[in-house]
Chains A and B, each alone.
Chain A
């Protein structure tokens, strides 16, 4: 493939991606970084953990994404009494046919919204481990492949911790990105209030303005394109250096594992695509590193007590790790 063809292909990809972002933007006012991160996860084929206080549009974001892509969207409200089989499915006896049949759970979809994932106990959260990593579900010893693309978008509320079950590290590691959804700016909030309250009863989430601009197959093509992007070995070494630095850094009790390096490169590729480049640069790595690594670090008790966040430590790490030397 020559340079011209590459450029044309990139242009087509960009056109589709920008269309997707534009459609999501019809429902989600502002929150551009969050929309960008969700798009990165979509291109990289990873899952996203969205953290923010209630009422910032976490659910709306996921519904808009599903509406723009046109895949199957399912939502599971995680509660303390939710069982693993409520998510993955189970085998039931059908009296009509006098046989057992599989009842597939809500996980069989393209976009799964795991709302308030930390409200369910660890055993229920763990039911997502297999499906998130291998895109398959095992019910009674029988494996069922999921239709791709498959994306889990989980939300959690950082302020109300009573009656919640913090996600175990193994579960957190499955998420490609952890995204913070913050309060909108005054102008964004004003626009949102006007748009949502105009001729609408109640405050039901409205995604009717979002058009279906992509099909699941388009997403698979975009993911394939992203995965084939060139990455110089210096960039790979840079990503590994950053991840390894998290393991020895002062104030970090547990650093990121090798899955962090893989995730960093995948997300950096997606970021490069969104920036309109056919190659990855150190800036791509640096720009996605906080979202990729913040949930993979466990800070020491001292830092946590003093109110420091993983982002503070990551900022230090990125400021100190040497950039690639070509």
Chain B
């Protein structure tokens, strides 16, 4: 994790090709799918300006669970995204395992993706920053 972005946030923002590449890196024969990706609804709770909690609405999510080397991996991603859910669950399991080499590989891929995501978000942020305004109040008379 770097620049304040956790692994799930990176995976959430990876493009489809990067997700495929990430899955290909994993030892498929050592991974058991405990729960195949399934869509469901997550109710989003929020707080208003008085810290009163309420439900804003539901979000379509995909959940999956895998097992790698005895370690469970869980994932919940937004949308109907079975591949992303599997990738996220496998990453969760691998990073909780003792396989240092694979952990390093996964971290390297995530770091590289995060760099791209950060660069893109920084550019978008600058476009927004350029709309910062300072209005002047006009004098009467």
Decide if A and B are genuine partners: no
User: Which residues of B are at the interface with A, using a C-beta cutoff of 8 A?
Assistant: none
User: Which residues of A are at the interface with B, using a C-beta cutoff of 8 A?
Assistant: none
